[in-house]
Structure 1
Amino acid sequence: MSLNFKTIDDLELNGKTVLLRIDINSPVDPHTGRILDDTRLRLHSETIDELAGMEAKVVILAHQSRPGKKDFTTLEKHAEILSDIIGRPVKYVEDIFGCAAREEISKMKKGDIILLENVRFYSEEILKREPRIQAKTHLVRKLSPLIDYYINDAFAAAHRSQPSLVGFAVKLPSAAGRVMERELKILYSALENVKRPCIYVLGGVKVDDSIKVMENVLGKGSADYILTTGLVANVFLKAAKIDIGKCNEKLIKKRGYSNLIKVARKLMKKFKDKILIPVDVAVCKDDKRLDVPIKDIPDLPIYDIGIETIKVYAEKIRNAKMIVANGPAGVFENPEFSIGTEDLLNAISSSSGFSIIGGGHLAAAVVQMGFQDGIDHISSGGGAAISLLAGEELPAVKVLCNPMNI
């Protein structure tokens, strides 16, 4: 898909009413309602502040969590924090598209910013349907007549086809916000303008996602090496007929990934020189780390890649011109097993190659371990970033690029 979407630079926004969809879904203390991490609010503040500075009337749509979860709450606190970050008042409106919301929009002045209520309080927002159907929802029909332009900055939710993400782009002149623009340009460039050698470091527990990425980037020839870590590595070790111990086999089965062992075996056969698996692992014995070669793995849980594997992987990373990483190497929350994740992140951050972190838990580890200054791009959207790298179309991006062909 060609990146032919419009950006803020293509629109004349002075005095216009702009509906801005952002993703400020944040960790919330369920007992106090306090927002525990304002990273995403700070990320989108650039777009919000720019629009208000252009004297647009900025109407923000966003979500927090989903029904049934403990952190499913209003956006009142989000509005307060956004106000502090931007240095401009962001008015919280306890309504989504009802009379109160529409009245507030109608009386806005140039440069005003309002944040409507959690869009997931509205039941139709949970449904995933085609953009043309979403354009007929009450949310889109009620708000569209009051809006001049729709801007989608919610890259982290771009893999979802929900009314607030795809419906307005069918009805209104639309563009990407600064976060969306930056994410798409960088991630598409990683796939299409590859700097060699290009290394993908794929770990964590979402084996199915990692395998989709492998199939795409190896099939296209946009990856020179895949370094496997985490549960991804365990599946590939099993595929290589390594005895990983009954407890680790049970975990693979429990996660529903047993069927992926054959897929991994086929990938290793087809791209045998490009997919690297650990030469040793760290198991948990009496709450302590024990590094063992893969031929001697005991029936104990694998919590990290081993020291020798770290050396091999780090050398590959240091020689790379482009590094894309997703998922931690092990149970990094436990200091005994944070070595793999920390050492690989250190290698990535100190490498001269262009580095991309695919969001999610690895992005959290980057910040926690203090490597953010050495990383060129940390994606704001784990699921969306992985879907894009796996070659899947992102519904919210597709409708921005081809609104009349949806």
Structure 2
Amino acid sequence: MTIKFNTIDDFDIEGKTVLVRVDINSPVDPNSGIILDDTRMKLHSETLKELSNKGAKVVVLAHQSRPGKKDFTTLEQHSHVLSKNLNIDVKYIDSIFSHEAKETIKNLKNSEILLLENVRFFSEESISKSPEEQSQTLIPQNLAPIIDIFVNDAFAAAHRSQPSLVGFAPVLPSAAGRVMEKELKVLQNAIDNVEHPCVFILGGMKSDDSIDVMKNVLENGTADYVLTSGLVANILLFAAGYDIGKVNKKFIKDRDYCYLVKKSKKLIKKYGSKIVYPKDVAIQNKKGLREDVPVDKIPNFSIFDIGIESIKDYAKIIRSAKTIFANGPAGVFEEPKFAMGTEDILNAIASSEGFSIIGGGHIAAATVAMGFENDVDHISSGGGACINLLSGKKLVAVEALIDSAKK
């Protein structure tokens, strides 16, 4: 399937005012307020630098965190970090569509870059509507008249239907930026031309998304095996009839995931051995130490990782795969004693000859932290967007770009 959207190559951008939506949402130290990691800014630098080099007047829209969180802050510091990464002075203004902001946009010279304020400071940005409805909200209504072209490079947020992400495509010529373009081409090509055996490794905490992916890839024949870890594995073990201990059952119930246990029972019944769950798990015992126990003898302690025997089984399946998709860590990898599952799975992926995709979020961070980033074929910049795509859902921001291209 070819996704037909415009890219930067489809427009003559010299002298044009180009609005670029990026995702430079970054970890911020809650005490000092200092940005701790500029990975996403480096990622989007390719698009911004290209637009600047081609003589566009570049206006950047972005968000940082969300209301109520400690790292919900202005983008002033982001402008300094972007300036260093681009080796271009990135201007910043502490508003989105004030008279001053609009005048600054109108007065931009060719190749200049201006970063506007955190779009989530504006309440409409948190309301989800259709692209056509979002085009009538205040951010697009105020900015679209002074913009020539809209470029969406925020793949990591492409599953969100918010004004800054989908509201410009119905009213402006629109294109995918280089990050968006690469992500969609790599992921869609891997899905459309999957080589078998194909293995999906699903872990982490976002079990509802993971089980949707599991259902989709087994139904459509993409996956030969789905290996489970993290909370996903606990739900599968519960569904398979194992006593995972009161504390782990309570965790599932407290998150309102009982419906996922029922859903998993049906999937196990239908797909059997294609769904692989651990044969042993790691718990933190009374002494605070890691202890590996078989799944039919789990005591009433929290499960924090898959066990050593499971790791061996998973690694064997991974190393024989031709295509590998991984989303979510195997356990509480931030704690060294429970990092073994995540580290060994990533090591198996890195040493496999198969085409490998790491699906963003925590597993991407773990891949980099553990030094495997150069040994996998693609690390996605967006966990949520990637997992939505893999579960067969359409990404609303991408659909908006496709509709714009049709016009």
After TM superposition, the score normalised by the length of structure 1 is 0.98
Q: What is the Cα deviation at residue 30 of structure 1?
A: 2.9
CA contact (8 A) 2:6 2:405 kept: no
Amino acid at match of 1:189: N
Q: What is the Cα deviation at residue 404 of structure 1?
A: 7.8
CA contact (8 A) 2:47 2:177 kept: yes
Q: What is the Cα deviation at residue 2 of structure 1?
A: 4.7
Structure 1 residue aligned with 2:368: 367
Structure 1 residue aligned with 2:154: 154
User: Residue 330 of structure 1: SS of its match in structure 2?
Assistant: coil
Q: Tell me, yes or no, if structure 1 residue 377 matches structure 2 residue 364.
A: no
CA contact (8 A) 2:324 2:349 kept: yes
CA contact (8 A) 2:64 2:74 kept: yes
Structure 2 residue aligned with 1:319: 320
User: Residue 150 of structure 2: SS of its match in structure 1?
Assistant: strand
* Distance in 1, Cα, partners of 2:138 & 2:260: 41
CA contact (8 A) 2:4 2:405 kept: no
User: Residue 73 of structure 1: SS of its match in structure 2?
Assistant: coil
Q: What is the Cα deviation at residue 405 of structure 1?
A: 8.0
* Distance in 2, Cα, partners of 1:280 & 1:68: 39
* Distance in 1, Cα, partners of 2:32 & 2:242: 48
* Distance in 1, Cα, partners of 2:18 & 2:329: 38
CA contact (8 A) 1:209 1:386 kept: yes
Deviations 1:164-221 (A, max 9, x none): 1011000000000000011111111232211111100001111111100011111111
| 5+ long unaligned stretches in structure 1 | none
Structure 2 residue aligned with 1:273: 273
Q: Tell me, yes or no, if structure 1 residue 329 matches structure 2 residue 315.
A: no
Q: How much is the aligned-residue C-alpha RMSD, in angstroms?
A: 1.3
Deviations 1:137-173 (A, max 9, x none): 1211111111110000001111111111011000000
Q: What is the Cα deviation at residue 31 of structure 1?
A: 2.8
Structure 2 residue aligned with 1:107: 107
Q: Tell me, yes or no, if structure 1 residue 86 matches structure 2 residue 86.
A: yes
User: Residue 341 of structure 2: SS of its match in structure 1?
Assistant: helix
Deviations 1:72-104 (A, max 9, x none): 111000000000001011000122011111111
Q: What is the Cα deviation at residue 277 of structure 1?
A: 1.0
CA contact (8 A) 1:191 1:217 kept: no
Q: Tell me, yes or no, if structure 1 residue 50 matches structure 2 residue 60.
A: no
* Distance in 1, Cα, partners of 2:30 & 2:297: 44
Amino acid at match of 2:322: K
* Distance in 2, Cα, partners of 1:189 & 1:229: 26
Structure 2 residue aligned with 1:59: 59
Pairs aligned (count): 406
* Distance in 2, Cα, partners of 1:124 & 1:262: 37
User: Residue 372 of structure 1: SS of its match in structure 2?
Assistant: coil
Which residues in structure 2 correspond to 1:139-288 (within 5 Å)? Answer: 139-285=139-285, 286-288=287-289
Deviations 1:342-367 (A, max 9, x none): 00000001111111111111111111
Amino acid at match of 2:173: P
CA contact (8 A) 1:170 1:404 kept: no
CA contact (8 A) 2:225 2:274 kept: yes
Amino acid at match of 2:83: S
After TM superposition, the score normalised by the length of structure 2 is 0.98
Q: Tell me, yes or no, if structure 1 residue 394 matches structure 2 residue 389.
A: no
| 5+ long unaligned stretches in structure 2 | none
